[in-house]
């Protein structure tokens, strides 16, 4: 009887604190995973997924980013056609990166050499940098 009570108490101490804690991954929208501690990330590797990106998305929660992964470093062009959210678009090459403003519904191509391109809500990637300046 005493061992049964001890087991119940032990299980209570183990389970109840965990039940009260909210997993940080629950803070990420569907299709996003927690990565890098502060961001919820959607990784796009397939060409069809990269082509769609954030088109037709009406809302991107704060601290959610989309990463467009490419196999090779080359000129990548993005536009904002069918995208209603003002975005930061970061082009990451082998030794540098540049951040541009994505203007909603703009058909103007934004092109830079990159192997990885990251999109986030306007202002979330820029920090103390300037748009259009290579770092």
From the CB of residue 29, how many other CB atoms can be counted at a distance below 10 Å? Answer: 11
Report the alpha-carbon distance of residue 34 to residue 107 in Å, rounded.
31
For the chain, what are the domain ranges?
Answer: 25-121
pLDDT in tens, 18-28: 444 444 446 89
pLDDT in tens, 28-65: 999 999 987 889 999 999 999 999 999 999 999 999 99
pTM: predicted TM-score of the whole model, two decimal places: 0.79
3-state secondary structure of 18: helix
pLDDT in tens, 61-84: 999 999 999 999 999 999 999 999
Residue 2 has what pLDDT? 58
Question: How would CATH label the architecture of 25-121?
Answer: Sandwich (2.60)
User: Which 8-state DSSP code applies to residue 129?
Assistant: S
From the CB of residue 13, how many other CB atoms can be counted at a distance below 10 Å? Answer: 9
């Amino acid at each position: 009887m005493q061992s049964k009570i001890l087991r119940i108490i032990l299980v209570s101490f183990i389970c109840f604190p965990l039940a009260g804690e909210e997993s940080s991954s629950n803070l990420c929208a569907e299709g996003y995973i927690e990565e890098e501690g502060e961001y919820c990330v959607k990784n796009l590797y397939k060409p069809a997924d990269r082509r769609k990106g954030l088109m037709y998305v009406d809302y991107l929660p704060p601290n959610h980013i989309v990463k467009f992964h490419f196999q090779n470093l080359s000129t990548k062009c993005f536009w904002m056609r069918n995208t209603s959210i003002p975005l930061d678009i970061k082009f990451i090459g082998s030794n540098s990166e540049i951040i541009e403003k994505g203007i909603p519904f703009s058909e103007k191509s934004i092109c830079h050499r990159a192997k990885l391109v990251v999109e986030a809500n306007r202002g979330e990637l820029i920090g103390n940098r300037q748009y259009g300046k290579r770092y």
